[in-house]
Amino acid sequence: MRKSKTFLEQLCHSLGKNNDASYAVVAVATAKGIFRPMFTMMDKHEDYETKKYTALREGLTEAIAIPCYLSVAWAAKNLVAPTICKSKTSDQVKKAAKTLSFLGVCTAALVIIPAACSAMINPIMKFLKEKKNHKKCCLEHHLDIKETPTQLPTLAMQPLSSTSGQLSKTYAAFNPMKLNTGLTIGGSN
């Protein structure tokens, strides 16, 4: 109990002394990244695939937004502020860093994040879709291989009464090995 209070006091002290605009926006973005996909998945009116797509897109947006906010605020504080306030005291550089961090957060929210999202989300979604399709294709392919041998006994049994030449031709037409090796038996195709 005493330990948690000390932590709370420390947290309040550091927030009171050095609050930054990026703290609140990152906290909001993190919560949005968790709750927005959750609310989307809880929607009963949409079908599962649409929900999954929307939730993934919302999660990705916030996942892009968080590093954007942090990097812009960091750059404003550590790169821009010392450059602009070269002739000022360290206390004034700190003050400028706070203002610049806030301006950076505003710029990130207004321009950088929408631009980064439009540049990154579509390729990521395309990649994920292709990966999913590839997986689906592989699964179907595996199922075909498993299914074809079950047809073999009936096909092989049928031409028993016919001549051996006919048997070899029929077997060659339905040979599952043909799919994998590309070999042709009996000179057909």
Binding site for another protein (CB under 8 A): 5, 8-9, 11-17, 19-21, 23-25, 27-28, 31-32, 34-36, 39, 81, 84-88, 92, 95-96, 98-103, 105-106, 109-111, 114
Q: CA angle 108-111-117, nearest 5°? A: 85
* Residue 174 · residue 159 · CB < 8 Å: no
Minimal distance, residue 86 CB to another protein, in Å: 7
A 10 A CB-CB count for 169 gives 16
Q: How far apart are CA 49 and CA 52, in angstroms?
A: 5
Minimal distance, residue 36 CB to another protein, in Å: 7
Based on CB atoms, which residue is closest to another protein, 83 or 150?
A: 83
- In the numeric block, which tokens belong to residue 44? 């009963």
Based on CB atoms, which residue is closest to another protein, 106 or 128?
A: 106
Minimal distance, residue 109 CB to another protein, in Å: 6
Based on CB atoms, which residue is closest to another protein, 45 or 188?
A: 45
Minimal distance, residue 88 CB to another protein, in Å: 6
Based on CB atoms, which residue is closest to another protein, 31 or 137?
A: 31
- In the numeric block, which tokens belong to residue 18? 């050095």
Based on CB atoms, which residue is closest to another protein, 109 or 124?
A: 109
Question: Which letter, b or e, does each residue of 140-165 get, where b requires 16 or more Cβ atoms within 10 Å of its Cβ?
Answer: eeeeeeeebeeeeeeeeeebeeeeee
Region at 161 (left for phi over 0; alpha for psi -120 to 50; beta for the rest): alpha
3-state secondary structure of 30: helix
Minimal distance, residue 8 CB to another protein, in Å: 7
